[in-house]
Structure 1
């Protein structure tokens, strides 16, 4: 089972969820050989709940994952912490939504939840907790105390960072960091659009039918990291496409009139 554990459904936090756009993304994920993904949309994205409301209309849901024409979509979200950094939470949909509800007062920059409080909240549920891109310059995690970081289940080897900082350098840093904390490393493309799927993923030794099975596979090391030779090209093209799509979206916005003033 080939699964990407860090993906997004929207082009950016500021855009609305587009069913047509996401269906194109799913088609590309399948075309690139993925069997599953974790949808880790930003917790403070515009109209967060509409993402899952739309998925409920688009795809059958069996209590553990959405079945998108043969691709499994496990619920999740990406949460900012006060100390700077991002945490991926993956779990049953009702648990993700309950944690998101508890974060209603923490969505604005300057008022994000402290790491320890987030962990205490997340530990009430059987979630998979992954420290996202721990060496990203803008949102690192390596500045936190070791005893704090050990509350996480794994750390994210991220396609964007491998492109930005170099495949071998970034992988060595993340793997050394995780090993010092006694934690595994998971793969995530961190894609916001279709071209990055398949650049980096986890190949599990067997299919997982639940988040509990997925978490156990990660913790027991029953998987391999797979990095495509085309990762640099995929991410570079992805970055360029994202900029173009955002520019087109801005151009399509209605021009203010005197009546709007």
Structure 2
């Protein structure tokens, strides 16, 4: 089993592309170095709406290509050997993203299904559903959702600051953590989400829950409690 964080970002800021492009080589090294300290074997670089190629391995940690696509209904992770290099925020439907992912031999994963997203309601050939490190208490909700759709679950920290890496990750049953092997494991269900309950991560999780609920980005399933937050409008 390899421990791979399947949702990570190389920068902690957005909206400054040229500055971000200059920072990314440092950001990925900080990410990989911290992942190594946390005992991870790999990390997927899933930056918002763009993919940038990095070394296959840094600091002894496998770097898995990926992108987090902002679809018309929320975010979808595309992870694998050949993710799209760039997407336009809010332009593609979840179904179109899944088709693009599969054409490129990648896996398509529903990201944080209860945060500012209605992707979970889309009937498309997703490969997995994520247990997100920012909201570990939603795991029971995700388990019920995954069971309903017959999909495996992955884990990802959704890290933007390097110290957050590994608060959620995926145990991947492969002989070697290559992008191709990781994709095959996801599609075969040879994955299991893990959540680190280290005290600092618990505190971070509570902080993110407060932030996202206060900004109306968090949506509880109707069967659990009355929903809060407004999901993206249908396009």
TM-score (norm 1): 0.69
Q: CA deviation at 1:196?
A: 1.2
Alignment partner of 2:135 out of 140, 161, 179:
161
Aligned residue runs from structure 1 range 45-124, under 5 A: 48=50, 51-52=52-53, 55=54, 59=55, 66-82=56-72, 84-92=73-81, 95-96=82-83, 99-100=84-85, 103=87, 107-109=88-90, 112-124=91-103
Separation (CA, whole Å) in 2 of partners of 1:141 and 1:191: 21
SS in 2 for 1:100: coil
Q: CA RMSD in A?
A: 2.3
- Deviation larger for 6-15 or 27-36: 6-15
Aligned match of 1:141: 119
Pick the aligned partner of 2:190 from 209, 222, 225.
222
Question: Considering only CA atoms, is the larger Rg found in Structure 1 or Structure 2?
Answer: 1
Contact 2:76 2:97 in 1 (8 A): no
Report which of the two has the higher share of helix.
1
Q: For the structure 1 residues 108 and 189, does the alpha-carbon distance in structure 2 shift closer, same or farther, using more than 3 Å as the test?
A: closer
1:194 aligns with 2:179: no
Write the deviation string for residues 95-123 of structure 1: whole angstroms up to 9, x where unpaired: 22xx335x4xxx145xx112222223332
Alpha-carbon shift at residue 225 of structure 1 (Å):
2.5
Residue 236 of structure 1, CA deviation: 5.7
Q: Provide the secondary structure at the position in 1 that maps to 2:134.
A: helix
Q: CA deviation at 1:194?
A: 1.1
The corresponding residue for 1:125 is 104
Choose the corresponding residue for 2:180, options 189, 207, 212: 212
Structure 1 portions without partners, runs of 5+: 60-65, 240-261
Equivalent position SS for 1:226: strand
How many residue pairs end up in the alignment?
201
Q: Does the CA-based 8 Å contact 2:6-2:157 persist in structure 1? A: yes
Aligned residue in 2 for 1:24: 30
Kept in 2: contact 1:133–1:140 (CA 8 A): no
Structure 2 unmatched ranges of 5 or more: 210-235
Q: Tell whether the 8 Å contact from 1:195 to 1:238 is kept in structure 2 after alignment.
A: no
Counterpart Cα distance in 1 of 2:165 and 2:112: 17
1:14 is displaced (CA, Å) by 2.0
Call closer, same or farther: CA 1:120–1:11 in 2, change over 3 Å: same
1:173 aligns with 2:173: no
In structure 2, distance between residues paired with 1:116 and 1:217: 21
1:122–1:24: structure 2 CA closer, same or farther, 3 Å change rule? closer
Contact residue 153 and residue 192 of structure 2 kept, 8 A: no
